[in-house]
Structure 1
Amino acid sequence: MYKLAITDDHEIFLRGLEKLLAAASDLEVAGSFVDGHSLLRSLPDLSIDVLLLDIQLPDFHPEELLMEIRKLRSELPILYLTMFRGTRILRRLEKHQIQGYILKDAAIEELKQAIERVARGESYFSPEIYLEEVGPGPNTVTTPQNKLPELLSPREYEILKMVCQEYSSSEIGEKLFLSKGTVDTHRRNILVKLGVNNTVGMVKFALQNGILHEED
């Protein structure tokens, strides 16, 4: 019997996944969390073999959360569950000794096998991750124009352009009638989706993809 915890900010998905995994005879869901802070509060006292972790949470950049988890449980096996294909994000997370990476559209049997392998001390990286690389190579943030609508939502695309025009989160919020916290969440999500570390990386992406030269 392997015990696991799940963290995902989409509650309907989270509860559904709990039920699917709880039906497996050799898996026990010992905890579920909707954000990084609630996970970190419970993690020291949580008896689990695997942490199933969504890569995109509203309160932490993925690398920041991973570093906090490693401070509390340095050897805890982590299996990322994500919608993002391509290896840019994966390469960054591998530096922190993650054990697995699987897509959210995987079959439930594949997910169970991945959990069991990671719990046994092995690794599991879905082959699908490598089949749809975004951009021509690992050392560039250039993305084909026809991929941009798939990569960013219309709101994220709008915020990316405003960030590159040197608007602060507060100023963006005022113009788009959003709270500063909501804008900051969008900015974190943009960083994750583009596979960049900071605002400079976002600007570089915009320049290389002609976003700054578009007419509104």
Structure 2
Amino acid sequence: MIRVFITDDHEIYLEGLALLLGKQDGIEVIGTATSGKELLEKVQDLQTDVLLLDVYLPDLGEEEILQQIRAIRPDLRIVYLTLLRGTRYIHKLSKYNIQGYVLKNASLDELLLALKTVQDGGSFFSKDIHIGDRDEDFRNTITIEDKQIDEILSRRELEVLRLICKEYSNAEIADKLFLSVSTVETHRKNLIAKLGVNNTVGLVKFALRNNLID
């Protein structure tokens, strides 16, 4: 029996995944959390074999969460769930000894294989994630399916992203969207964090790769 704990801030997805996994032979979903803070409150006492963890949680950064988890549970097996197919998160988070990285649109069979592989002491990465030396072009970029853009970025974040790509300053974006400059700065930081890039150039690459701008 593989005991699984799931953390994801999208409650409908979380409840659906918990229900689906709970119906599978050899899988027991022992609990769920909808935020990084809730997970950290529970992690000390979790009697779980594998933690399924959403890459992006709005309340705590992914490295902050992993640092705290590893301080408490250094050997806890962690499989990340994501919509992102690029490798930046893999390389950034690998130093925290994560065991898996699975796309949210993976098949049930693939997810079950990931859980079994990790439970048995191995590592598992979805086949559609670009990884390895031959994929150098993908190493510092993130790509997602067009239909999933709105599941990662809000309408306002998309507006800000497109204006950033047109070389508008924070002040100009604020004026155009009737926002404060500090709000625009927050949106810019959130975009960089969500998309796993380092700077404005990374945002532009993401927008071009996903056909968000001409």
TM-score bucket (shorter structure): 0.7 to 0.9
**Secondary structure in 2 aligned to 1:95?**
helix
Given the alignment of the two structures, is residue 204 of structure 1 paired with residue 207 of structure 2, yes or no? no
Q: Are the counterparts in 2 of residues 3 and 29 from structure 1 also a CA contact under 8 Å?
A: yes
Q: Paired residue for 2:23?
A: 23
**Secondary structure in 2 aligned to 1:39?**
helix
Q: Paired residue for 1:175?
A: 178
Unaligned runs of 5+ in 1: 212-216
TM-score of the pair, normalised by structure 2: 0.75
By how many angstroms is 1:208 displaced?
6.9
For 2:123 and 2:20, locate their aligned partners in 1 and report how far apart those are by CA, in whole Å: 22
By how many angstroms is 1:193 displaced?
4.2
By how many angstroms is 1:157 displaced?
3.4
By how many angstroms is 1:61 displaced?
1.8
Which aligned segments of 4 or more residues in structure 1 are displaced greater than 6 angstroms?
207-211
TM-score of the pair, normalised by structure 1: 0.74
For these two proteins, the number of residue pairs brought into alignment is 194
Q: Residue type of the partner of 1:203?
A: T
For 2:81 and 2:185, locate their aligned partners in 1 and report how far apart those are by CA, in whole Å: 24
For 1:54 and 1:10, locate their aligned partners in 2 and report how far apart those are by CA, in whole Å: 9
Q: Paired residue for 1:214?
A: none
**Secondary structure in 1 aligned to 2:178?**
helix
For 2:40 and 2:185, locate their aligned partners in 1 and report how far apart those are by CA, in whole Å: 24
Q: Are the counterparts in 2 of residues 194 and 202 from structure 1 also a CA contact under 8 Å?
A: no
Distance 1:49 1:103, change over 3 A: same
Q: Are the counterparts in 1 of residues 7 and 39 from structure 2 also a CA contact under 8 Å?
A: yes
Q: Paired residue for 1:78?
A: 78
Distance 1:137 1:123, change over 3 A: closer
**Secondary structure in 1 aligned to 2:129?**
helix
Distance 1:188 1:62, change over 3 A: farther
Q: Residue type of the partner of 2:199?
A: M
For 1:41 and 1:29, locate their aligned partners in 2 and report how far apart those are by CA, in whole Å: 18
**Secondary structure in 2 aligned to 1:128?**
coil
| Sequence identity (%) | 41
